[in-house]
Structures are given as C-alpha cells and as structure tokens.
Amino acid sequence: MKPIVLASTSRWRLQILNDAGIVADATDPNVDESTVMGDGPVETARLRAIAKASAVSRERPNALVIGADQVIYLDGETIGKPRDAHDWRHRLVAMRGRDHKLTTAVAIIEDGEIEAFEVTTVVRFRSDLTDGEIDRYIQHGEAAGCAGGYMVERRGAWLIEEIRGDWLNVVGMPVLALVGRLRARGWRMPK
C-alpha cells in the first residue's frame, strides 16, 4: 500500500489516525485558510480540506493524502477560533444551553483523483454552565487555537451536555467514515 500523508499540523488528527492503525506522516500544507471561502460553513470546510490535500499531494504525488478542515456553526454562522478572551467568552456564552453543529470535511487524494466528504455532529452545551465556569475555562487556555473555542476531549467536557453523532469527529477526524472510504479503496486493518 502507498504511504499515507496527513495534510495537517494537528497532533490530534494524527493521533486519531495512528490510534486507528492508519499510520501516517504529517506535513504542513502551508495553505492560508482565510483565502479559501465557500458559500457556507460546510462548503468552506470542503474547499479548505481539498486545498490542504492538494497542496501536499503536489509534494507527495505517490502517497495517499488526507486533508481535513473543521467548522463549527450556530444558527448558520461560523464560529471560528477565538480572536481574544472577550470574543472567546461571547462565543461560549452564545452556545450555552443550545445545540450547534460541527462539520469536518475530509479530502482524500490518490493518483490525482480527489474524493471529498463531510461528517456533521450536533453538540449541545450545558444549560447550567455558569459564567464563572466559562471564565475559568478561558483562563485555562487549552482551546485558544481551536474552532469553537473548546476541546471536548479535555476540560471542555465540562461544557458539553450531549453529542449526537461521531465523537471523534468533534475531536478532529471522522475516522469511522474515513476507514470506510479506505476500505472501499482496498485497504484493510493492519497487523
């Protein structure tokens, strides 16, 4: 089988792949995400995943390249990475007691052919989440660079009441759907 390359600097995505037995190298795609925009959050994620995978595929044409991009949106509006503590607090307060959607788009490039798909998960924040808890979470700082401003796999678990859908999608990579796509290409569980 070909080598697998993850077009990402996310250690979380790489860890998810490796834990699933998808041994991959990670390469920075060097894509300015702010220049890649679609008509909505899901299309934007798809275009960014393709851009990342395409950039790395040009460098590694003999590999199977996986690119991914994640968007979080509430009421159709994208909630990106917090710009500062005030913006961060505003976003977390807006999600309190409400559902929001998280979509990860994945692009696979092999032999010049692009396959892209998305997985969407619904996340509900706790309604009993206090302002003090939100402030403490922000002060902890673990998710300053994360879309939405939280990490469900860490202290962000205190913010979340329920996840409907793929938990690993929330962490950063919908590995179940990815494994299905790899199996369709002839890949099987490694030894």
What pLDDT does residue 21 have?
A: 94
Other beta carbons less than 10 A from residue 43's beta carbon: 14
Task: Indicate which CATH number applies to the domain containing 123.
Answer: 3.90.950.10
Q: Is residue 18 part of a domain?
A: yes
Say if CB 52 and CB 67 are below 8 A apart: yes
What pLDDT does residue 77 have?
A: 87
Q: In this predicted model, what pLDDT tens digit does every residue of 134-191 receive, in sequence order?
A: 999 999 999 998 889 999 999 999 999 999 999 999 998 999 999 999 999 999 988 7
What pLDDT does residue 34 have?
A: 87
Q: Tell me the residue range of the domain where 38 lies.
A: 4-184
Q: Which residues contact 15 (CB under 8 A, 6 or more apart)?
A: none
Q: Is residue 171 part of a domain?
A: yes
What pLDDT does residue 1 have?
A: 79
Q: How far is CA 181 from CA 51, 108, 185, in A?
A: 19, 9, 7
Among 136, 124, 122, residue whose Cα is nearest residue 165: 122
**Domains contained in the chain, number:** 1
- Whether the per-residue pLDDT at 45 is higher than 80: the answer is yes
- Whether the per-residue pLDDT at 79 is higher than 90: the answer is no
Q: Is residue 164 part of a domain?
A: yes
Q: Is residue 163 part of a domain?
A: yes
Report the run of H or E that residue 115 belongs to, with start and end.
Answer: strand 113-125
> How far apart are alpha carbons 101 and 122 in whole angstroms?
5
Q: Is residue 189 part of a domain?
A: no
> Would you call 69 a catalytic residue per the annotation?
yes
Q: Is residue 14 part of a domain?
A: yes
Q: How confident is the model at residue 76 (pLDDT cuts 50, 70, 90)?
A: confident
Mean of all residue pLDDT scores within the chain: 94
Q: Is residue 191 part of a domain?
A: no
- Whether the per-residue pLDDT at 130 is higher than 90: the answer is yes
Whole-prediction pTM value? 0.91
Strand pairing of 99-110 and 160-164? unpaired
Catalytic-role residue among 19, 69, 99, 111: 69
Region 113-142: what's the mean pLDDT?
Answer: 97
Among 50, 152, 154, 56, residue whose Cα is nearest residue 108: 50
What pLDDT does residue 31 have?
A: 96
Backbone angles phi, psi at 64, to 5 degrees: -90, 120
